[in-house]
Amino acid sequence: MQQVFERGGTLEIAVARPGAIDAPTVDPLETAGSADLVWRLKIVALDEESLLVEAPVALGTTMPIADGVPLIGAITIGQNRWKFRSRKVSDERPEGARALCMRLELPEKVERCLRRFVRMEARSPATGSVRLWPLLDPKTVVASERANEAAFHAVVEGKEPPTPTGAMPTVGPGFTATLMNIGGGGVGLRVESADSGAFAHHRIFWVEVPLGPGQLIPIVATGKVVHTHLDSSHRTYVGVSFDFTFNLAHQAVVVEQIHRAMKSVQAAKEH
């Protein structure tokens, strides 16, 4: 942890699942594809009992985590990856910090991850898999976003979601990716080699992101590819930034969806 802090590095955290307190520690990325929200957070300060990290943020809005919530975390040092348990202690805004920060318990121990990333069968749509389609005409997203907004608000109000009547935006053939993290204005994805050729021809996609059990309406949005890199298994890791150029109001809906998903995960751990 000290090495990561000294290098200005980050850690990844996810809210621990219900029943996970006494279970073996699981690397947050090993649950990728299960719609867990995994946040990459900068370490701001470190002492003998706790560490201070930047709070999770999505599209400029802080996603609160309640005090006392158990967390699962991971850090990467070189080619090695380590996992640990922690707990949210408090919110703080230290002098000079860019935004709100969270104080976390310093883990009593860290465990070596057996492998950097788990292998997943290509093209096997699992709960939490993200769907992407090359977006051929960005102006056509507005009707689809508004239909998504109407369905989301209906669910929030306890009503039956309206039957979708609008067509998809003008898109090309779609494929499935694995959600690695979400926040800060977009998502991090892992794409199997069979589908990665799409990024050689397209940089703008229509993205559908499920948010887990109990969240009936997925996030849909235009996504711009901002970076890609390959791993040794020829899988592509992709950073996608949400874009709301043609429907700025949709940004507030996406923020609310993520916020509700965070609250749902924290509420589940109490039962």
37: which residues sit within 8 A by CB, 6+ positions away? 14, 15, 56, 181, 182, 183, 211, 212, 258, 261, 262, 265
DSSP alpha helix (H) spans, 97-172:
141-156
- Could you tell me where in the chain the CATH 2.30.110.10 domains are found? 2-112
pLDDT at residue 89, rounded to an integer:
94
From-to residues of CATH 2.40.10 in the chain: 130-268
* CB-side neighbour CA atoms (13 Å) of 165: 3
Radius of gyration of the chain (CA): 19
State mean pLDDT over 76-95: 84
Helix (H) or strand (E) holding 6: helix 2-6
Q: Reduced to 3 states, what is the DSSP secondary structure of residue 250? A: helix
Q: Is the pLDDT of residue 115 over 50?
A: no
38 pLDDT band, cuts 50/70/90, is confident
Counting Cα atoms < 13 Å in the Cβ hemisphere of 257 gives 29
Mean pLDDT on 58-66: 83
Would you say domain 2-112 falls under CATH 2.40.400.10? no
Mean pLDDT of 14-19: 72
* pLDDT for 203: 95
Compute the distance between CA of residue 176 and CA of residue 25 in angstroms, rounded to an integer: 27
Q: State how far the Cα of 173 lies from the Cα of 202, in Å rounded to an integer.
A: 12
Does the structural domain 130-268 have CATH classification 2.40.10? yes
CB 250 within 8 A of CB 256: no
Backbone angles phi, psi at 19, to 5 degrees: 85, 5
Residue scoring higher pLDDT (37 or 121)? 37
- pLDDT for 77 equals 74
Whole-angstrom distance, CA of residue 70 vs CA of residue 233: 33
| 159, 161, 163, 166 alpha-carbon torsion, rounded to 10° | 130
Residues 215-260: tens digit of each pLDDT: 889 999 999 999 999 887 788 999 999 999 999 999 989 988 888 8
Lowest mean pLDDT of 32-46, 102-116, 158-172, 234-248, name the range: 32-46
Helix axes 141-156, 250-268, angle to 10 degrees: 40
Distance separating alpha carbons of residues 81 and 226, to the nearest angstrom? 25
**pLDDT score at 124:** 29
Return all residues near 41 (Cβ < 8 A) that are at least 6 apart: 10, 11, 12, 13, 53, 54, 55, 56, 102
Residue 61 and residue 255 in contact, taking contact as beta carbons nearer than 8 Å: yes
Confidence of residue 116 (pLDDT cuts 50, 70, 90): very low
At 171 the three-state DSSP class reads strand
Q: Is the pLDDT of residue 192 over 60?
A: yes
Predicted pLDDT at 198 = 93
DSSP 16-61: PPTT-SSSPP--GGGGTTTT---EEEEEEEE-SSEEEEEPPEETTE
Q: Lowest-pLDDT range, 39-43, 139-143, 160-164, 250-254?
A: 160-164
pLDDT confidence of 14, banded at 50, 70, 90? confident
pLDDT given for residue 125 in this prediction: 31
- Confidence class of residue 36 from pLDDT cuts 50, 70 and 90? low
More confident residue, 156 or 181: 156
